[in-house]
Amino acid sequence: MDDRFNTASGWVLFSGIVALGASIASGMYFHADSNDVLEQGEAGYYVEGVEEEGGADAGPSLAEVLVTADAAAGEKVFAKCQACHTINQGGANGIGPNLYGTMGQAIAGHAGFAYSSALSDKGGQWTWENMDEWLKSPKAFASGTKMSFAGLSKIEDRANVMEYMASMGGAPAKPEFVPEAEVTEEGVSIEGEDPTEAEAAGALGADEPVASDNAAGDNEGATKVD
């Protein structure tokens, strides 16, 4: 009995020594006690494909997208709205108000429809910018609105819908799209202007001879030779 107990105890002790040795060896191999990462200020994990804040492309502006907005494409997207809205002139209100002539109208200004206070208290007009924000996320635009539609995430879809709405009753002037100036290695040039032409003109001007201050304007003082 004593021999079995001693043998079992020996194996247990041996197993503990092996486990301890393995733990020490793995710690040394993987630098478990090293603070190098923390000291470099790079603690955490890097996820490939995720850019730092500010590095993502903001995408085109509303004014830029509206330049190529298509009413026909917007009519197709508007099909999602027809369960609640009519848009023909004189159309009846449904779950939502009739939308004919809404662009440029006062927000919550359609007569005969009971708007929620979240929208009726908003104030302002349905400008292109306001309608864009509304179509993007009604709840974000007017917190507490009864509108259950989640919104259109693509700015192109929103621009097309607004273009279609503008064709049904008009709209205010679109926000002006001003292309960014082209940037060259020498600096900034106005779009459409060829910077090489300006440089050539400057070079020609620099090469033209300049009259000397000592050059005589007439023949006075010249030596006469017979």
Q: Six-digit token pair at 40? A: 């470099």
Q: What pLDDT, on a 0 to 100 scale, did the predictor assign at position 148? A: 87
Q: Would you tell me how many other CB atoms lie within 10 Å of the CB of residue 215?
A: 6
- CATH topology for 62-167 is Cytochrome Bc1 Complex; Chain D, domain 2 (1.10.760)
Q: What pLDDT, on a 0 to 100 scale, did the predictor assign at position 66? A: 97
Count Cβ atoms within 10 A of the Cβ of residue 195 and give its class: 0-12 exposed, 13-18 middle, 19 or more buried: middle
In SS3 terms, 135-202 reads as HHCHHHHCCCCCCCCCCCCCHHHHHHHHHHHHHCCCCCCCCCCCCCCEEECCEEECCCCCHHHHHHHH
Q: What pLDDT, on a 0 to 100 scale, did the predictor assign at position 106? A: 96
Per-residue pLDDT of the chain (226 residues; tens, 9 = 90+): 566 666 766 666 667 676 666 666 656 655 545 444 333 334 433 334 333 444 445 789 999 999 999 999 999 999 999 999 999 999 999 999 999 999 999 999 998 899 999 999 999 999 999 999 999 999 999 999 988 899 999 999 999 999 999 999 999 999 999 987 654 455 554 555 554 554 544 544 445 454 444 444 444 444 343 4
Q: What pLDDT, on a 0 to 100 scale, did the predictor assign at position 71? A: 97
As a whole number of angstroms, the distance between CA 219 and CA 56 comes to: 73
As a whole number of angstroms, the distance between CA 138 and CA 131 comes to: 9
Q: What pLDDT, on a 0 to 100 scale, did the predictor assign at position 59? A: 87
Q: What pLDDT, on a 0 to 100 scale, did the predictor assign at position 2? A: 61
Rounded to the nearest angstrom, the gap between the alpha carbon of residue 38 and the centroid of all alpha carbons in its chain is: 34
